[in-house]
Structure 1
Amino acid sequence: MTLLAVERIKLFSTRSPWWSLLLALVVTVGFAALTTGSEDDPAWITVPSTQFGYSFGLAVILVMAALTITTEYRFNTIKTTFQAVPSRTSALLAKTIVVALATGVLGLIAAFGSLGIAKVLQPKADLALNSQADWRAVAGVSLVFAIAAVVAIAVGILIRHTAGAVALLLTYALMVEQLVQLIPNVGDDIHKWLPFNVAYKFISGDPDMSGRPVQAGPPPSDATLSPWWALAYFAAFAVVMLTIAIITAKKRDA
């Protein structure tokens, strides 16, 4: 518990995490306001359509999570941490847990904030959470944010440099997975198993697309796993990445 308290103080004693969390919240909710407020027909506003800003908020979360570890390497405070805590595994796990919890809470606030602003802007739209899929589309953002933060920390531990870690995370999450589909013959099959695409399957599920306008929600993931297995897959990917990162950190100089 002491390690968790220390990491919590380290995380929230500087301005950048606060600004990053605020930015993620504003981007996610703001995008929901933009997409729902500009729609003339409230029948086209659905619970999934309120979560259009999820991926933009996720990009901010990836950057913030990576910064929590790369800045320690940049300013050499990681050496002090490892000297104070002989077990590097414990120190890195404590940081990961604190950041994952913080981003998870932020994801929950952002998702329900997006739903709330949509209800304000489109009071006639049917935005009640009537099914498991509706709850997963909103509350599921919290779990995806938290797990994605673990992935970002793992990348930060492996690369150690802020620019490299941020560039890799953003390029991969926002571009690479989509570009993989352009590979002839095998691109679509590979894309079905890429981690962020699979994570989105947990949020989007398997909606009935027959007759549904584009405005009624983001396109569903083409991952073949069921929603809950998709979340388990994404979590397993994060655990593997973090394990590799911790093993690497233990073998090299701080």
Structure 2
Amino acid sequence: MTLLAVERIKLLTTRSPWWCALTALVLTSGFTALVVGNASEEFPATVATTQFAYSFGMAVIMVLATLAITTEYRFGTIRTTFQAVPNRSAALLAKTTVVAVLALVIGEIMAFASWGLSLLLQPEADLALNGTADWLNVAGVGPACALAAVVAVAVGILVRHSAGAISLVLIYFLAVESLVPIIPSIGDDIYKWMPFNVLHKFVTGDGASNAGRVADAGAPLSTSTLSPGWALVYFAVFAVGLLAIAIGTARKRDA
């Protein structure tokens, strides 16, 4: 508990988490206002469309998570941390836990803020959370952001440099996976198992909350063949596995 308290203080007494949280909220709310505010009979507002911009907020949260660890390497405070806590695994797990919890909270705030804003913009639309699919579409954003933050921390531990780690995380998240389907013959099959495509399946499901929405009115659905529950497990295993590799690497090299 002491390690968690220390990491919480270190994280929340810097400016970057607060600026990243504000940026994530502004980005998602802004894009939601554009999409839902322009809804029409042809492109109706649904629960799914209220979360159209969650991936933009997730990208900012991943930047926050990367900075949480790489700034320690940049300023050399990681050496002090490892001197105070010789068990590097415990120290890094504590930091990852704090970052993941913060990402969960930010993710839920931006998801429900987008949903609430949509209710104000389209009071006549059917935006009630009536079933599991609707709740996953909104409340599922928080857990998705938490696991994405774990991946970002792992990359930060491996790369250690802020610019390099952030570039790697964002390029992969925003570009690399989307380019996989263009690989001849096998691209689509590979893409079904790409980590963030599978995570997207957890949030959007099979489109059960998209009733009345045409395809162009919201973000594309995941092509993963897994159920939402197994999609979450799949990405969690990927995130924990990458973190384990990162911690194992950090234990073997100089701080």
TM-score, with length taken from structure 2 = 0.96
The question of whether the paired residues in 1 share the 8 Å contact of 2:21 and 2:61 is answered with yes
Q: Distance in 2 between matches of 1:241 and 1:179?
A: 22
- Aligned pairs, how many? 254
Matched, 1:68 2:68: yes
Matched, 1:59 2:86: no
Three-state SS of the structure 2 residue aligned to 1:44 is coil
Partner of 2:249: 248
- In structure 2, what residue type is equivalent to 1:138? V
Say which is worse superposed, 204-213 or 150-159, in terms of deviation.
204-213
Matched, 1:218 2:219: yes
Q: Distance in 2 between matches of 1:14 and 1:221?
A: 36
Three-state SS of the structure 1 residue aligned to 2:203 is helix
Shift of 1:219: 1.4
Partner of 2:124: 124
Shift of 1:212: 3.9
Q: Distance in 2 between matches of 1:186 and 1:204?
A: 24
Q: CA RMSD in A?
A: 1.4
Cα deviations across residues 196-252 of structure 1 (Å, max 9, x unaligned)?
000000011112679742354321100011110000000000000000000000000
Q: Distance in 1 between matches of 2:66 and 2:151?
A: 9
- In structure 1, what residue type is equivalent to 2:247? I
The question of whether the paired residues in 1 share the 8 Å contact of 2:85 and 2:91 is answered with yes
Gaps of 5+ in 1: none
Q: Distance in 1 between matches of 2:42 and 2:222?
A: 24
Identity among equivalent positions (%) equals 63
Kindly report which structure 2 residues correspond to 1:102-141, keeping only aligned pairs within 5 A, or say none.
102-141=102-141
- In structure 2, what residue type is equivalent to 1:77? T
The question of whether the paired residues in 1 share the 8 Å contact of 2:8 and 2:98 is answered with yes
The question of whether the paired residues in 2 share the 8 Å contact of 1:29 and 1:110 is answered with yes
Kindly report which structure 2 residues correspond to 1:25-104, keeping only aligned pairs within 5 A, or say none.
25-41=25-41, 44-104=44-104
Partner of 2:15: 15
Three-state SS of the structure 2 residue aligned to 1:130 is coil
Shift of 1:41: 3.3
The question of whether the paired residues in 2 share the 8 Å contact of 1:133 and 1:205 is answered with yes
Cα deviations across residues 117-144 of structure 1 (Å, max 9, x unaligned)?
0000000000000010000000000000
The question of whether the paired residues in 2 share the 8 Å contact of 1:43 and 1:126 is answered with no
Query: In the superposition, relative to structure 1, how do residues 42 and 9 fare at CA in structure 2: closer, same or farther (>3 Å)?
Result: farther
Partner of 1:169: 169
Gaps of 5+ in 2: none
Q: Which runs of 4+ in 1 moved over 6 A?
A: none
TM-score, with length taken from structure 1 = 0.97
Partner of 1:178: 178
Q: Distance in 2 between matches of 1:178 and 1:3?
A: 38
- In structure 2, what residue type is equivalent to 1:49? T
- In structure 1, what residue type is equivalent to 2:130? N
Q: Distance in 2 between matches of 1:43 and 1:82?
A: 54
Say which is worse superposed, 2-11 or 25-34, in terms of deviation.
25-34
Q: Distance in 2 between matches of 1:63 and 1:210?
A: 33
